[in-house]
């Protein structure tokens, strides 16, 4: 059994506040290139904390750090992106008809006749919206001038003036929390990916500043991830982060049978593009082991009943790609932590949609739904980020472990 490190104690009032931040952030409409509502929320959060400072690069990416902590050339970054797949109003045909561009990755099957909300805030109604229905995809007439994102024709239910570049999101049920039969809670909301990760990063930094952690821990919030990691590419090209930084990208990744909700935050060793920096991944896994007192899965000599109660997972998660691959491509040391996510990109019953059996199984074409995560996984991610902030070893964790094995057991070669 791995030696256990005492988990950071978060007072109940602050833990409740962390859940409140999660609920607030994951309700905010956002889209690639139109993250301003989320950025306004984050700026307000920073302004309430005079011991934090922030700076923004030329692409609108945001760095946050604890002002009094010494700057180093190898800070630890917790990163998350601030967009989510959504529509942007591209053309106004009339008071009743619009053309919208969709920025993100969602199967074509989910669009026909889908209901959407066009967000039309006013001073008196900051969360007001107008309902519309997707009628058809607008196919490009000239294949040589194919737009970068798909475009859709939509009809408003109640014709009214709409501004260009307004954000539109799926018309989803209200945010709510359910409790499983085993007593564990799940948050159903508009956009866990990646705003739940942003909330966890903010919560962890807030706890580290309360605990006067002296380490150079920074947050990096990026833009336009859903259309090709554009913010992360810009930050990497411009060396916004010091070259010796250790970057931990935070994500929400589609849950599978072997990476389920309620099994804890996931130390992600790679994605469908690349394998992340092994030394950093191994060091983070060592921190996770030290919190739980054990590995993520039973060893051959263990029973499942012997596993620790603080849960974590270690998985490849090759179904998608994340910003850690971008950072690695530009020569940074980077890896990823993620939350197991239900209804990835709001695609409910995605397995059946991919298999082409949705209508047979459910009697309807594919429909969108609320993304959802386990609150225990979210709290576990905060725990792990705090422990990383305090205890991430500067030297590669695995080489330390194998050197100790050599010291302890080399004599067996001579007996």
Which range has the worst mean pLDDT, 18-32, 96-110, 121-135, 320-334?
A: 121-135
In the predicted model, is pLDDT for residue 58 greater than 60? yes
Return the pLDDT at 361.
93
- Lookup: tokens for 88: 């942007």
Confidence of residue 86 (pLDDT cuts 50, 70, 90): very high
pTM summary value: 0.93
Domains and CATH numbers, the chain: 12-84+175-401 (3.40.630.10), 86-170 (2.40.30)
CA dist., res. 263 & res. 253, Å (int): 13
When pLDDT is averaged across residues 276-289 and rounded to a whole number, the result is 95
CB atoms within 10 A of CB 264: 27
Contact 310, 265 (CB under 8 A): no
339-384 pLDDT, tens digit each: 999 999 999 999 999 999 999 999 999 999 999 999 999 999 999 9
Contact 283, 393 (CB under 8 A): yes
In the predicted model, is pLDDT for residue 1 greater than 70? no
The closest alpha carbon to 82, from 240, 266, 215, 219, belongs to 219
CA dist., res. 168 & res. 157, Å (int): 14
List CB contacts of 190: < 8 A, sequence separation 6 or more: 26, 27, 28, 29, 84, 169, 170, 172, 175, 346, 370, 371
List CB contacts of 415: < 8 A, sequence separation 6 or more: none
94-144 pLDDT, tens digit each: 999 999 999 999 999 999 999 999 998 877 788 899 999 999 999 887 766
**Mean pLDDT taken over the chain:** 93
């Amino acid at each position: 059994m791995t030696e256990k490190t005492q988990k950071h104690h978060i007072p109940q009032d602050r833990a409740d506040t962390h859940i409140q931040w999660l609920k607030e952030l994951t309700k905010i409409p956002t889209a690639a290139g139109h993250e301003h509502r989320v950025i306004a929320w984050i700026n307000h959060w920073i302004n309430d904390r005079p011991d934090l400072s922030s700076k923004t690069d030329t692409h609108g990416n945001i760095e946050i750090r604890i002002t009094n902590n010494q700057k180093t050339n190898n800070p630890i970054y917790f990163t998350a992106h601030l967009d989510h797949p959504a529509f942007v109003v591209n053309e106004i045909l009339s008071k009743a008809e619009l053309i919208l561009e969709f920025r993100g990755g969602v199967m074509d099957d989910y669009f026909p006749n889908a209901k959407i909300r066009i967000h039309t805030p006013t001073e008196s109604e900051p969360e007001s919206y107008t309902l519309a229905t997707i009628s058809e995809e607008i196919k490009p007439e000239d294949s040589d001038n194919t737009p970068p994102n798909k475009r859709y024709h939509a009809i408003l239910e109640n014709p009214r003036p709409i501004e260009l570049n307004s954000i539109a999101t799926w018309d989803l049920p209200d945010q709510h929390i359910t409790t499983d039969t085993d007593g564990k809670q799940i948050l159903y909301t508009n956009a866990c990916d990646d705003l739940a990760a942003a909330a966890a990063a903010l919560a962890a930094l807030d706890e580290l500043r309360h605990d006067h952690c002296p380490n150079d821990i920074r947050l990096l919030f990026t833009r336009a991830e859903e259309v090709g990691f554009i913010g992360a590419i810009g930050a990497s090209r411009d060396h916004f982060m010091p070259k010796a930084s250790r970057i931990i990208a935070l994500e929400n990744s589609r849950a599978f049978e072997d990476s389920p909700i309620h099994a804890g935050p996931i130390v992600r060793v790679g994605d469908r593009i690349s394998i992340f920096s092994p030394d950093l991944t191994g060091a983070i896994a060592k921190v996770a082991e030290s919190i739980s007192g054990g590995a993520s899965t039973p060893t051959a000599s263990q029973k499942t009943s012997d596993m620790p109660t603080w849960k974590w997972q270690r998985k490849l998660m090759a179904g998608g790609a994340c910003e850690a691959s971008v950072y690695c491509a530009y020569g940074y040391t980077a890896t990823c932590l993620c939350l197991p996510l239900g209804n990835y990109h709001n695609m409910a019953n995605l397995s059946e949609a991919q298999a082409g059996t949705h209508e047979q199984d459910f009697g309807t074409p594919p429909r969108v739904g609320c993304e959802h995560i386990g609150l225990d996984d979210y709290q576990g991610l905060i725990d792990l980020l705090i422990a990383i902030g305090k205890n991430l070893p500067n030297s590669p964790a695995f080489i330390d472990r194998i050197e100790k094995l050599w010291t302890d057991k080399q004599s067996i070669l001579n007996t």
